[in-house]
Amino acid sequence: MPVFGTQMFGSSAITYRYWRLSIAVGHNANEVAVGELKIFVDSTQYPTAMTSDTAPSPLVATGSSRDNATRSYWKAFNRDVTSTDSHWASAYQAAFPQYVQVDLGSGNGIAATSYSITAGKDGKETQGPKTFTLQGSNDNSTFSDLNTQTNVASWSAEEERTYTI
């Protein structure tokens, strides 16, 4: 079963294996945090809730840096923003851009229509993304920009915002 998304251009769909949230600027100059990144096909949410950087198979979550093992990459895809450590956070004072991404595995892809970002809580909401781009790739090397948001407003704890692809 496919576990993530595709971008639509007119009547032809472009399927991507890798999905990346690339963050050019955060609301905090020292660190950026994402409580949850969801990709949607209409009202259906993807991917399956992750339980580690490599589970469930075939999903693999990676990124540019992480604050510590507790705030690892998979936390952006675990469908949980209820606790302080249920989010991904970049390494402290790591240079921008920062990113978090998921590899869906060979042969997986669906037609994504939107995505959402949910802020963390307990202070991490102040470290949400400010300028960011959702990107897709099939080789984990060349990424296509699918949607860019610039200078978005500050985030509230556990606030979810949805964007159309």
pLDDT tens-digit series, residues 111-165: 788 999 999 887 777 889 999 999 999 999 999 999 999 999 999 989 999 999 8
The ranges assigned to domains in the chain are 6-164
For the cut 50, the answer to whether the pLDDT of residue 55 exceeds it is: yes
- Stated pTM of the model: 0.90
Report the alpha-carbon distance of residue 69 to residue 139 in Å, rounded: 26
Distances (CA, A) of 71 to 29, 35, 55, 85: 18, 10, 16, 6
Q: Are 87 and 70 in contact (CB under 8 A)?
A: no
Q: Is the peptide bond before 56 cis (omega within 30 degrees of 0)?
A: yes
Question: What single DSSP character describes residue 153?
Answer: P
Mean pLDDT, to the nearest integer, of 96-109? Answer: 92
**If DSSP codes are grouped into helix, strand and coil, which group holds residue 75?**
helix
pLDDT tens for 2-17 read: 333 444 444 347 889 9
